[in-house]
Amino acid sequence: MKSLKTALKKAVVVLADRFFLLRPLVTVPAATFFLLGYAEAVLQGGDAWPGRVRALLSARDSWPGHQGPVHPWLGVVSYALLMASVYVVNQVYDAESDSANDKLFLIPRGIVSRREAWGVAAALLALGLAGGARCGQTTVLLFALSFVLGMAYSVPPLALKRLFPLDLLANAVGYGTVAFLTGWSLASTPGLNAVARSAPLALCVGGVFTLTAVHDRMGDRRSGFRTTGVTLGVERGPLLALVLLAAAVPLSLLTSNRLVLVAAAVSLPLFAYACAKRTERAVKVAYRASSSVFVLMSGLAFPGFLLAVLVLMGLARLYYSMRFALNYPTLTGR
């Protein structure tokens, strides 16, 4: 009996390690912007968007531009799997810098081998693209674009994440524009209007990324990276983040993107505080709290998504506390 309990406990740990190798909490922003793109496409600037989107979600066959039983959740889950593939590859190539930053322990500590990580990434990619293909030709092409951009971000010789300002541009475009347009493509073909409506979101993403890069600058510097955080440091990085977020406010008004307007306005005081204080704690609070604002906004239209995020956070707290004695995720902790 004791040996059976030991074997079961070991199996649970192994499965938990592989699940969190996917970095499910990091897929949340990608899924958030995907869903926001879908919501904006459905409403095209309408007023009572949460209720209208929920009504569409309850009718599998009635949403614009599609036939058959395809549901928006298929799109967002498939996109999350695709992005998880990118994040696994990112960890393979960043094992040394992650070790220097004392984070993402699974590959740096040899808990998961690089060979196994590549296999997991390949399986996730296949599943994600298969789901994207079910959603339509335009959608799967945007899936492919997201993956290519993710590879360019992580994989040498490009490795955009290692060089300012390419790391900043890749994040702003990849999350703020491409993920948004991919979600939009579920409801209608994205055009110039969709690109314009994604622009303020890209600025917000750029601001949030700048603060995360500032937070990771020490380990990145030791790894020889010239990232946004390394280049700008804690003195200039928060200022750039504040400028990007502030620019999103008038642009969201011009493009009638009320969602981004509210999220940026709520986050602006936090960014201003980080800019004024220029401390690690202020920077961390600003980017983590502002990211939560966008998740909450998406949760207005997609309560199931918000519930899934809360469950993931609970599982992550349990996993990291028991596996690595860490209090994560938190607003001010690691």
Contacts for 134 with CB less than 8 Å, ≥ 6 apart: 70, 74, 78
Greatest mean pLDDT among 55-64, 118-127, 273-282, 300-309: 118-127
Q: What's 163's DSSP letter?
A: B
The secondary structure of 237-299 as a DSSP string is HHHHHHHHHHHHHHHHHHTT-HHHHHHHHHHHHHHHHHHHH--HHHHHHHHHHHHHHHHHHHH
Q: What percent of the chain has pLDDT over 70?
A: 88
CA distance 287 to 105: 22
Contact 190, 184 (CB under 8 A): yes
Mean of pLDDT values over 126-145: 94
Domains of the chain: 28-324 (1.10.600)
Query: How does the average pLDDT of the chain come out, rounded?
Result: 87
- Asked if the model's pLDDT at residue 42 lies above 60, the reply is yes
Dihedrals phi, psi of 318, to nearest 5 degrees: -65, -45
The whole-angstrom separation of Cα 291 and Cα 299 is: 13
* Cα–Cα dist 293/149, whole Å: 26
Q: What is the mean pLDDT of residues 205-219?
A: 93
Residue 158 to residue 155: CA distance in whole angstroms: 6
Q: What does 86-112 look like in DSSP terms, one character per residue?
A: HHHHHHHHTHHHHHHTT---TTTTTSS
CB contact set of 266 (below 8 Å; sequence gap of 6+): 290, 293
**Cα 174 to Cα 8, 23, 34, 144, 280, distances in angstroms:** 40, 17, 11, 12, 26
218-224 contacts, C-beta under 8 A, 24 or more apart: 218/100, 218/101, 219/97, 219/98, 219/100, 219/101, 219/102, 219/103, 220/97, 220/100, 220/101, 220/162, 222/97, 222/100, 223/96, 223/97, 223/100, 224/162
272-302 pLDDT, tens digit each: 999 999 998 999 999 999 999 999 888 887 8
pTM of structure: 0.88
3-state SS string over 232-246? HHHHHHHHHHHHHHH
Query: Can you read off the two tokens belonging to residue 235?
Result: 């003195």
Both structure tokens of 121: 């990434």
pLDDT of res. 126 = 97
- Give pLDDT tens digits for 146-162: 999 999 998 988 989 99
Cβ–Cβ contacts within 10 Å for residue 239, how many?
15
Q: For residue 156, give every residue at least 6 positions away whose Cβ sits within 8 Å of its Cβ, in sequence order, or none.
A: 93
Q: Yes or no: say if 256 and 201 are a contact pair by the CB < 8 Å rule.
A: no
Report which of residues 106 and 53 the model is more confident about: 106
